[in-house]
Amino acid sequence: MSEILVLVEQVDGEVKKVTLELLTLARSLGSPSAVWAGPGVTAEAKAKLAEYGADKIYVAGAEEIVGYVVAPKAELLAQLVSAQSPAAVLVAATAEGKEIAGRLAVKTDSGVITDAVGLGEGFVAEQSIFGGGVNVRSKVAKGTPIVAVRPNSTAPVAAAGAGADEEVSVTLSDAAKSARIVERVKQEKGARPELTEAAIVVSGGRGVGSAENFSVIEGLADALGAAVGASRAATDAGWYPHQFQVGQTGKTVSPQLYIAAGISGAIQHRAGMQTAKTIIAINKDPEAPIFELADYGIVGDLHQIVPQLTEEVDKRK
Amino acid sequence: MNIVVCVKQVPDTATERKLRSDDKTLDRDAVDGVVNELDEYAVEEALKLKEAHGGEVTVLTMGPGKATETIRKALAMGADKAVHLFDDALHGSDALSTSYAMAQALKKIGFDLVILGSESTDARTGVLPAMLAERLGTPQLTLANKVDVDGTSISVQRLTDYGYDKVEATLPAVVSVVEKINEPRYPSFKGIMAAKKKPVETLAVADAEIDAAQVGLGAAWSQVVDFAAAPPRAAGTIVKDEGDGGAKVADFLASKKFI
């Protein structure tokens, strides 16, 4: 079977869920090879990658791969593409993943497809564009298909691969070492899952009314093990930090469940959440466009409904 | 400092955007064009850097004839001059071709710093800044929410999933900025009038030494196989809260096995 490279996303040595999704997807199209870029690989991480189907695990453990912005990872992948001639390269469609894909495409003279929500035979990718209004199927016409796949595009399913690991050394060009990362600043984010990766997202909008009231949204999110999002109206008002904005100019999420509380559902917001599998809307305005998307909607005051829902969720756990 | 800010005209998000049935590209004629919102932050950042360090701000746009509206807006905000990369041969270019054509134009214009918005609201690929850095062989300082220049040194705060990275490099460099890095200024009446007199140079493919075989729809590295309007979501159940709304949502969540 033809080899498919999957760039591993990890935090402190722990493999992220999106990588398991990518391995699951790669397995349906060929033989997945995981690519670990940077130091910190552990036996547990390798076991996890093998458990989800990695037949090979390339480990490029040099510190300098993570010491510079994006370019070293693209050079590592380009080197593997040249040496192994894989059928395709899959990366997670995170902001950085897409940048890696872009540079890799230039380096290998290959086509790139971003934000795929599905991938089928012949590496035909499905995308949802224009705020979810149009579905497109695209394919790469030249070179090695490079596809950035959105988190939550498929459910991760374990199926053991051979998991043979192989050390890879990479010689970085001077150009790849031109943007030095001199400090990594980790901001407190608590125990909540990452917004773009979360299976459940609870978002608040204008109807929340104040920064203090976002505790209501956070309470429901914590009861469900969800991430918290916010509409642009809420972040513009300063009620919630900007990095949690869901929408056209913010984050795009594609969770199993999206709960929109006090969000009217303007196109700018819908562009960031329309591919969610199940959508629940809570809004006091029965005419709010968010109800057009909702699988289940409640017309009423979120300040009554959300705390009651949180209590019910806690009760039924 | 010679700053080039790349600006794209995109269809107004509030209008219905369509793909053309003939060549499966975005129908740009059918909709009103506006400045890509994230590029306004790029223009503002360029103007602030010029105000602090001196130099010149050049607007670079690739797009059809009507993209001049977008150029005028950036000039009205305060940019000094503009280059419009405009050639029918460019129609249908994908991200790879676009980055190639833009890189050729940038080499011709010359720059210390290239600034872009982090993505466009139409294609939303977010790959162009990284591709430009790759093609130009310059440092990639992307997803910045803070930019500081000191002589030939530049440092940015690059947004990450966990917070931010502090990144340093030496000019020339490619920077992309995120929303809210600054508060873009509104063009003043004086600025709008002045913009009409500012020089706009039009570059065709040959002028920028762009190989026509490497751009346009025919050269695209990726192709649209087919497309269709997204099927409308099945109508959901909408109920009015009668005091038990929270419990009802919980019932729905339980029926879907979320709890």
Domain chopping of chain B, boundaries: 2-228
DSSP B58: E
The CA radius of gyration of chain A, in Å to the nearest whole number, is 21
**Phi, psi (5° rounding) for residue B219?**
-90, -5
- Would you call A310 and B246 a contact, using CB atoms and an 8 Å cutoff? yes
Q: Coil, helix or strand for B219?
A: helix
> A3-177 and A200-316: same fold?
yes
Q: Where are the beta strands (DSSP E) in chain B?
A: 2-6, 9-11, 33-35, 56-62, 81-85, 113-117, 140-150, 153-160, 163-170, 173-177, 200-203, 222-229, 237-240
Cα of A83 to nearest chain B Cα, Å:
21
Token pair listed for B38: 């994230």
> What phi-psi label fits residue B4: left (phi over 0), alpha (psi between -120 and 50 degrees) or beta?
beta
Which has the higher per-residue pLDDT, A131 or A252? Answer: A252
Give me the torsion for CA of A123, A124, A128, A133, rounded to 10°: 180
- Would you call A96 and B249 a contact, using CB atoms and an 8 Å cutoff? no
**What are the CA-CA distances from residue A92 to residues A23, B125, B212 (Å)?**
11, 13, 32
Q: Per-residue pLDDT for A1 more than 80?
A: no
Task: Note the CATH number of domain A3-177.
Answer: 3.40.50.620
pLDDT the model gives residue B18: 87
Question: Is B245 within 8 Å of A304 (Cβ atoms)?
Answer: yes
Cα of B64 to nearest chain A Cα, Å:
20
Long-range Cβ pairs for the range B18-24 (8 Å, 24+)? B18/A130, B18/A134, B19/A134, B19/A136, B19/B224, B19/B227, B23/B92, B23/B217, B24/B223, B24/B224, B24/B226, B24/B227
- Would you call B94 and A111 a contact, using CB atoms and an 8 Å cutoff? yes
Cα–Cα distance measured from residue B16 to residue A266, given in angstroms and rounded to the nearest whole number? 13
Residue B228: what residue type?
Answer: A
pLDDT the model gives residue B162: 84
259 residues of chain B, pLDDT tens digit each:
999 999 999 998 878 888 998 998 998 888 889 999 999 999 999 999 999 999 999 999 999 999 999 999 999 999 999 999 999 999 999 999 999 999 999 999 999 999 999 999 888 899 999 999 999 999 999 999 999 999 999 999 999 988 899 999 999 999 999 988 999 999 999 999 999 999 999 999 999 999 999 999 999 999 999 999 988 888 899 999 999 999 999 999 999 999 9
Cα–Cα distance measured from residue B171 to residue B152, given in angstroms and rounded to the nearest whole number? 5
> What phi-psi label fits residue B97: left (phi over 0), alpha (psi between -120 and 50 degrees) or beta?
alpha
The length of chain B, given as a count of residues: 259
Q: Which residue of B has its CA nearest to A12?
A: B162
ipTM over 0.90? The verdict is yes
pLDDT the model gives residue A3: 98
Question: Is A206 within 8 Å of A231 (Cβ atoms)?
Answer: yes
- Would you call B135 and A106 a contact, using CB atoms and an 8 Å cutoff? yes
Cα–Cα distance measured from residue A128 to residue A111, given in angstroms and rounded to the nearest whole number? 18
**Phi, psi (5° rounding) for residue B171?**
-65, 155
Residue A288: what residue type?
Answer: A
Cβ partners under 8 Å of residue B129, min gap 6: A99, B116, B118, B140, B142, B174, B175, B176
Domain spanning A200-316: CATH 3.40.50.1220: yes
Chain B residues whose beta carbon lies within 8 Å of the beta carbon of residue A95: 118, 126, 143, 159
Read off the pLDDT of residues A9-33 as tens digits, 9 standing for 90 and up: 999 999 999 999 999 999 999 999 9
Q: Coil, helix or strand for B85?
A: strand
Cβ partners under 8 Å of residue B137, min gap 6: A175
Question: Is B70 within 8 Å of B54 (Cβ atoms)?
Answer: no
Cα–Cα distance measured from residue B29 to residue B22, given in angstroms and rounded to the nearest whole number? 14
| SS3 track for chain A | CCEEEEECCEECCEECHHHHHHHHHHHCCCEEEEEEECCCCCHHHHHHHHHCCCCEEEEECCHHHHCECCHHHHHHHHHHHHHHCCCEEEEECCHHHHHHHHHHHHHHCCCEEEEECEEEHHHEEEEEECCCCEEEEEEECCCCCEEEECCCCCCCCCCCCCCEEEECCCCCCCHHHCCEEEEEEECCCCCCCCCCCCCEEEEECHHHCCCCCHHHHHHHHHHHCCEEEECHHHHHCCCCCHHHEECCCCECCCCCEEEEECCCCCHHHHCCCCCCCEEEEEECCCCCCHHHHCCEEEECCHHHHHHHHHHHHHHHC
What is the pLDDT averaged over residues A224-239? 96
Chain A residues whose beta carbon lies within 8 Å of the beta carbon of residue B237: 295-297
> How far is the first Cα of chain B from the last one, in angstroms, to the nearest whole number?
58
Q: Which residue of A has its CA nearest to B251?
A: A312
Token pair listed for B102: 């833009």
Cα–Cα distance measured from residue A243 to residue A234, given in angstroms and rounded to the nearest whole number? 12
Cα of A314 to nearest chain B Cα, Å:
9
Read off the pLDDT of residues A114-158 as tens digits, 9 standing for 90 and up: 999 999 999 999 999 888 889 999 999 999 999 999 999 999 999
Q: Per-residue pLDDT for A189 more than 70?
A: no
In this structure, the number of other CB atoms found within 10 A of the CB of residue A284 comes to 16
**Would you state the CATH architecture of domain B2-228?**
3-Layer(aba) Sandwich (3.40)
- Would you call A257 and B253 a contact, using CB atoms and an 8 Å cutoff? yes
Q: Which residue of A has its CA nearest to B183?
A: A236
The CA radius of gyration of chain B, in Å to the nearest whole number, is 21
> How far is the first Cα of chain A from the last one, in angstroms, to the nearest whole number?
44
**Mean pLDDT computed over every residue of chain A:** 95
Chain A residues whose beta carbon lies within 8 Å of the beta carbon of residue B233: 279, 292-293, 295
* Best to test chain A binding among B23, B127, B147 (most A CBs inside 10 Å): B127
On the CB side of A231, how many CA atoms lie within 13 Å of its CA? 24
Cα–Cα distance measured from residue B26 to residue B11, given in angstroms and rounded to the nearest whole number? 9
DSSP B236: -
Of A102, A109, A295, the CB nearest to B127: A102
Beta bridge partners of A58: A35, A166
Task: Report the candidate in A2, A13, A75 with the shortest Cα–Cα distance to residue A40.
Answer: A13
Percent of chain A with pLDDT over 90: 91
C-alpha B189: how far from chain center: 25
Chain B residues whose beta carbon lies within 8 Å of the beta carbon of residue A231: none
> Which residue do the tokens 């890189």 mark?
B103
- Would you call A106 and B245 a contact, using CB atoms and an 8 Å cutoff? no
- Would you call A95 and B143 a contact, using CB atoms and an 8 Å cutoff? yes
Q: Per-residue pLDDT for A195 more than 90?
A: yes
| Domain assignments of chain A as residue spans, ordered by start | 3-177, 200-316
Read off the pLDDT of residues A296-307 as tens digits, 9 standing for 90 and up: 999 999 999 999
Cα–Cα distance measured from residue A217 to residue A227, given in angstroms and rounded to the nearest whole number? 10
What is the pLDDT averaged over residues A71-98? 97
pLDDT the model gives residue B255: 95
* Best to test chain A binding among B222, B242, B258, B259 (most A CBs inside 10 Å): B222
Question: Is A18 within 8 Å of A151 (Cβ atoms)?
Answer: yes
B172: preceding bond cis by omega (within 30 degrees): yes
Question: Is A303 within 8 Å of B244 (Cβ atoms)?
Answer: no
> Which residue do the tokens 């760039």 mark?
A7
